[in-house]
Amino acid sequence: MLRTLIIDDEPHIRETLIHLVQKYCPQVKLVGEAESVASGIRAIREKIPELVLLDIKMDDGTGFDLLNHFENIDFKVIFITAYEKYAIQAFGFSAIDYLLKPVNPEKLAEAVKRAEQMVQQDFNTQLGTLKENLKTPENKNRKIILKTLENIYLLDVQEIIHCASNGNYTIFETTNDEKIIVSKIIKEYDDLLSDSGFFRVHRSHLINLKHIRRLSKQDGGYVIMSNGDEVPVSSRGRERLMELFEEIAGK
């Protein structure tokens, strides 16, 4: 059983989480709840949880303030948040689980299942990346974590040249000539990277516009990337790219 602590300053959120955990997460054993940063710190030290469902913004501080009190974070964390789009993107880049208020039962169950499987030493890297991305101006020098079965990659977003779909996997080509295969569909990265200069040229291909070298109209159309890769472009993708080029040229 996964010893779990709930920390949130809203009583109705804590009640909802307790109900949902009991109904949808049979592998969880609730060991307590807390309503603030201060009481949360005490509860963690007393209850020694393996998983904490942690609110980000509370009356006496933030979830990050709470985590800063622990030199070694030896428990898993799922953040509970009502943050705006920019902060949500930061969570996505950092590969840290979060739940939006109001909490969706299915997403809660999925996040708890991932927490069971997560290698804990990864979390400190993920948390550091999250904090950095939250402080970084939008679209500037963001970092992203890509997790495979064998490795965890911490990359600058602009190191990614393009992504290709392979069923339920996404293949990343990088400026370091690495091919990184991640078990997530390409749409998730399309949503995540669209504000960072990435463009979906084909249903199976996402490219970094900064790495385009040439657009060819031959053979149905394709783009040549900075590493020499030829990426196919759909007819709609070609039209949108041409519009984008004309817009850039007119500036």
> Residue 92: which of 103, 101, 81, 106 has the closest Cα?
81
Domain ranges of the chain: 2-135, 149-249
Provide mean pLDDT across the span 37-52: 96
**Domain spanning 2-135, CATH architecture:** 3-Layer(aba) Sandwich (3.40)
Order of strands across the sheet that contains 198-202: 179-182, 169-174, 160-166, 205-208, 198-202
> Residue 108: which of 4, 237, 216, 240 has the closest Cα?
4
The pLDDT of residue 249: 60
CATH of domain 149-249: 2.40.50.1020
C-alpha–C-alpha distance, residues 243 and 236, integer Å: 11
The pLDDT of residue 99: 87
Confidence of residue 91 (pLDDT cuts 50, 70, 90): confident
The pLDDT of residue 138: 59
Beta bridge partners of 161: none
What pLDDT, in 10s, does the model give residues 112-129? 988 887 655 567 777 777
Provide mean pLDDT across the span 67-80: 88
